[in-house]
């Protein structure tokens, strides 16, 4: 059983997945952020690979990408930073990025390096499903990496079921057809969440985009296995209180802990 499967087996709802950009706020912040997230109660973490044109992301995450790139972060440097990550981090870890830099690095080289350091899953929003199935699925499976697909309110039931068939780990349900950090009216999204719930998919589902507080986290978790938070956490790291203090305060608010 993989680390991702184990989390969902142990925790049937309210799984908290936090995204952050590697190399932000400082080049050497990556491991400190990971330790803080694990210690403060995140169930899994998405490590963002900075890219100059992150098309699915809103201004906050775009800015964190820019800062990280200016700090000198690259895919190779990220792998170097994470080479001993499993000595200290036990929760599931995913790499989230875009296809262009991964292709330049080499998909198999990327997957091999990810496997060697203990990464559990990969999210590449701009890798088409057909290309994944025909060209890359076997490579991800060879290196024991779950590939996570995104769905939106406009994704057809047929496509969702095809994604469910191809996927391992979980399905990333984008709350609205917008960029990260968009603030949707979650009441208007409940029919979408209910539709997913009624489909009885084999993979767990986590909701992302617009999750920012206990209310939105709880609402998403009512219909799915939990949620993904990125923009709101990145914003908390910009507050100047330090990584551990900011992380603890943020997660306590999300989980409604005193």
46 is an active site residue:
yes
Q: State both tokens at 16.
A: 């908290």
Q: Which of 10, 32, 39, 46 is catalytic?
A: 46
**Edge-to-edge strand order for the sheet containing 226-229?**
146-147, 121-123, 93-96, 44-48, 15-21, 226-229, 205-208, 171-174, 150-151
User: How many C-beta atoms lie closer than 10 Å to residue 252's C-beta?
Assistant: 14
Q: Which of 43, 57, 120, 146 is catalytic?
A: 57
SS3 20: strand
123 neighbors 95 (Cβ within 8 angstroms): yes
Beta bridge partners of 17: 44, 228
Q: Which residues are catalytic?
A: 46, 57
């Amino acid at each position: 059983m993989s680390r991702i499967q184990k989390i969902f087996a142990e925790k049937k709802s309210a799984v908290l997945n936090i995204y952050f950009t590697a190399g932000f706020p400082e080049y050497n912040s990556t491991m400190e952020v990971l330790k803080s997230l694990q210690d403060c109660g995140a169930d899994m973490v998405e490590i963002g690979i900075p890219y100059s044109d992150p098309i699915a992301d809103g201004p906050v995450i775009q800015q964190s990408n820019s800062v990280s790139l200016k700090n000198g972060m690259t895919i190779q440097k990220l792998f170097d930073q994470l080479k001993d990550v499993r000595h200290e981090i036990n929760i599931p870890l995913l790499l989230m990025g875009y296809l262009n830099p991964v292709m330049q690095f080499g998909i198999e080289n990327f997957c091999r390096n990810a496997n060697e350091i203990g990464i559990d899953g990969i999210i590449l929003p701009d890798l088409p499903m057909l290309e994944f199935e025909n060209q890359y699925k076997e490579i991800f499976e060879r290196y024991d990496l779950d590939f996570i697909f995104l769905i939106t309110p406009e994704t057809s039931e047929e496509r969702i079921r095809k994604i469910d068939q191809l996927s391992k780990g979980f399905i990333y349900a984008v709350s609205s057809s917008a960029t990260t950090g968009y603030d949707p009216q979650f009441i208007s999204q409940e029919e979408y969440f209910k539709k997913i719930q009624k489909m009885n998919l084999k993979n767990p589902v986590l909701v992302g985009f617009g999750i920012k507080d206990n209310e939105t986290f709880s609402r998403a978790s009512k219909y799915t296995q939990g949620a993904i938070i990125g923009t709101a956490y990145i914003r908390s790291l910009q507050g100047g209180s330090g990584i551990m203090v900011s992380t603890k305060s943020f997660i306590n608010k999300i989980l409604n802990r005193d």
